[in-house]
Amino acid sequence: MRDWAHTAVSDLITHIDEINRLNVFPVADSDTGANMLFTMRSALAEANVGVNSEGGSACVAKAAAALSAGALNGARGNSGVILSQILRGIADVTAAAAAESGGELPHIDAATLGASLRRGVDLVITSMGGREIRGTIVSVLRAAADAVGECAQAGEGLASAIVAAGEAAVVALEKTPEQLDVLGDAGAVDAGGRGLLVLLDALRTTVTGQAPARTVYELSPRALQPQSAAERPAPQFEVMYRLDGCDPAAADALRDRLGELGDSVGIAAARSSAQRTYSVHVHTDDAGAAVEAGLAAGRPSRIVISVLSSGATGLPAGGWTRERAVLAVVDGDGAAELFGGEGACVLRRDSAPGDPVTNISAHQLMRAVLDTGAAQVMVLPNGYVPAEELVAGCTAAIGWGIDVVPIPTGSMVQGLAALAVHENGRQAVDDGYTMARAAGAARHGSVRIATESALTWAGRCQPGDGLGIAGDEVLIVAPDAIAAATGLLDLLLASGGDLVTVLVGAGAETDEAAAALGDTLAEHMHDHHPGTELVTYRTGHRGDALLIGVE
């Protein structure tokens, strides 16, 4: 079950652009693939918690329950709510089967899978207010469930049933333009149904070891025509939140209220009624009223309000305000000023005081790319965006029609090297190549203060020691940060260098302290590396005491 979830995440990343571009219903906001990916990644993260802390379990029901809980807590968008209910269907049925077998369920068969998918159909329809719209993901899910059920009745095994589910899903998916007018007008299959096919194919790959070849579905050119003035404009906002302490009656009243405020209402319940927890979704022009309705029904949290697109193209209202921009992900006030002063748009890796520092998510990255207002965006992740989030966020932004070029910068010092050679006048591919080459040529490392005793490649360190790090390895263990910095500089400059950039972190609490550190390093450079220029900035980043780059 966990292997399937992992494969599903990887396959959704591969197909995210295709799914996003097919997204014309209920709103052409080009995010169905991204939302399914976000939700499935949340499900996988929850399922992996037990593996990391307890070594895992051999029970299918426990893995399915974790996937269901993670998906509900991390559901994004209409498609994410639906996906959470499909996973809940699997969790509900496998839990019942585990109870019948004495507490654990080591295997799942065709009959259990068929019942799980049928339960998922019912839960999805309930979450959407009890109304089934033909030509959507529900139609594809129902076809897959029926195919598995027929295989189970015929006594066929799980592998055969999964293959049959995928083939039935393809047939149902290709019928969706005939069943839903907006899809027929766009010449597109349903995006959610395409995403479901990715999940079913991932299951087939996991169980049989064979990945089926599928058609790449495209959006018809006529779908890109401007929205007619006679058409009803799409709502401005997508509102999502988790709702705790909400009883079923209050959930029904909330559904009615949200139906008055907008459309695409989805209210999905957690598996245990004792939790009284729901995931809430709506498209509306009055985001404030949608949140207030949640306050009347329970305790909203994890509130996400996103601006929906202005029409069928999925592009923000008003078009692009400029041709090209650079988006730099940074940490610290000084870093934001430094990159902003060089003309970059800045996405800060912020957290509240006392909270753990977290990396940038794909959703944050996508919104920041859109907010640049540029048709072409060069992204400098600077080591603060995990690879999967970078791929998902950039691909989601591409689905909005933006030409996004991620530059492989693993540190802010590499980001500065790339930014120094950026030129708006060059073609995007030329500019991206030049920036990537400059980033790659910048050797970089960091100095960190040890927090515990540990054995490193450079010997044992004790709390308070300065650690000189290059790549993922500790190369220097020294009594303090200054000694580690000078040792690391000597290593980085062993093959020469014209310019050394040192970014001073939050450990230097004043400009004077940063200046004194810079003076010490400058003296070392003068004595041991004459002719190499040194520049020092106080960026205030967290984690590493110093970031060092050599160009």
In terms of Cα–Cα distance, which of 423, 426, 427, 440 is closest to 342? 423
In terms of Cα–Cα distance, which of 179, 184, 186, 211 is closest to 198? 211
Quick check: helix, strand or coil at residue 508? coil
Alpha helix (H) residue ranges in 286-427: 287-297, 333-341, 362-371, 387-398, 412-420
Quote the percentage of the chain above a pLDDT of 70.
89
What does the pLDDT read at residue 199?
96
110-127 helix and 137-153 helix, angle to the nearest 10 degrees:
160
Q: Which of 164-168, 327-331, 505-509, 524-528 has the lowest mean pLDDT?
A: 505-509
User: What dihedral angle (degrees, nearest 10) is formed by the CA atoms of 349, 353, 354, 358?
Assistant: -10
Tens digits of residue pLDDT in 291-316: 999 999 999 888 877 776 543 333 44
**Length reported for the chain:** 551
Tens digits of residue pLDDT in 10-64: 898 888 888 888 877 766 666 788 889 888 988 998 888 866 555 566 789 999 9
Confidence of residue 445 (pLDDT cuts 50, 70, 90): very high
pLDDT at 319 over 70: no
- Measured from the Cβ of residue 214, the count of other Cβ atoms closer than 10 Å reads 15
Tens digits of residue pLDDT in 451-494: 999 998 889 999 999 999 998 889 999 999 999 999 999 999 98
pLDDT at 225 over 60: no
Q: How buried is residue 519: exposed, middle or buried, by Cβ count under 10 Å (0-12/13-18/19+)?
A: exposed
pLDDT at 394 over 70: yes
- How big, in percent rounded to 5, are the helix, strand and coil portions of the chain? 50, 20, 30
Tell me the C-alpha distance between 204 and 202, whole Å. 5
Tens digits of residue pLDDT in 211-222: 898 988 887 655
Q: Distances in Å between the alpha carbon of 67 and those of 49, 74, 78, 268, 351? A: 10, 10, 18, 15, 27
Confidence of residue 173 (pLDDT cuts 50, 70, 90): very high
Type of residue numbered 90: I
Quote the percentage of the chain above a pLDDT of 90.
47
What does the pLDDT read at residue 354?
44
Q: How buried is residue 194: exposed, middle or buried, by Cβ count under 10 Å (0-12/13-18/19+)?
A: buried
468 forms bridges with which residues in the sheet?
A: 447, 476
Q: What is the mean pLDDT of residues 189-195?
A: 91
What does the pLDDT read at residue 535?
92
For 460, phi then psi, to 5°, come to -80, 140
The answer to whether residues 79 and 267 touch, using CB atoms and an 8 Å cutoff, is no
Identify which of 149-158, 269-278, 279-288 has the greatest average pLDDT.
149-158
What does the pLDDT read at residue 220?
67
Q: Which residue has the higher pLDDT, 168 or 276?
A: 168
Per the structure block, which two tokens stand in for 7? 């494969």
User: What dihedral angle (degrees, nearest 10) is formed by the CA atoms of 434, 440, 443, 445?
Assistant: 120
Tens digits of residue pLDDT in 335-371: 999 999 999 999 998 654 444 456 788 878 888 888 8
Q: What is the DSSP letter of 551?
A: -
130: CB partners within 8 A, 6+ apart:
none
Alpha helix (H) residue ranges in 221-313: 248-261, 287-297
In terms of Cα–Cα distance, which of 456, 495, 503 is closest to 478? 456
Quick check: helix, strand or coil at residue 534? strand
Quick check: helix, strand or coil at residue 253? helix
pLDDT at 429 over 90: no
- Measured from the Cβ of residue 51, the count of other Cβ atoms closer than 10 Å reads 13
What does the pLDDT read at residue 312?
36
First to last CA, the chain: 47
What is the phi-psi region of residue 518: left when phi exceeds 0, alpha when psi lies from -120 to 50, beta otherwise? alpha
Tens digits of residue pLDDT in 96-106: 998 888 778 88
Q: Which residue has the higher pLDDT, 288 or 53?
A: 288
The answer to whether residues 265 and 302 touch, using CB atoms and an 8 Å cutoff, is no
Confidence of residue 111 (pLDDT cuts 50, 70, 90): very high
Confidence (pTM): 0.58
What does the pLDDT read at residue 29?
62
The answer to whether residues 104 and 58 touch, using CB atoms and an 8 Å cutoff, is yes
What does the pLDDT read at residue 314?
39
Quick check: helix, strand or coil at residue 448? strand
What does the pLDDT read at residue 353?
46
Tens digits of residue pLDDT in 229-258: 345 566 778 888 989 899 889 999 999 999
Q: Which of 154-158, 384-388, 399-403, 423-427 has the lowest mean pLDDT?
A: 399-403
Quick check: helix, strand or coil at residue 3? helix
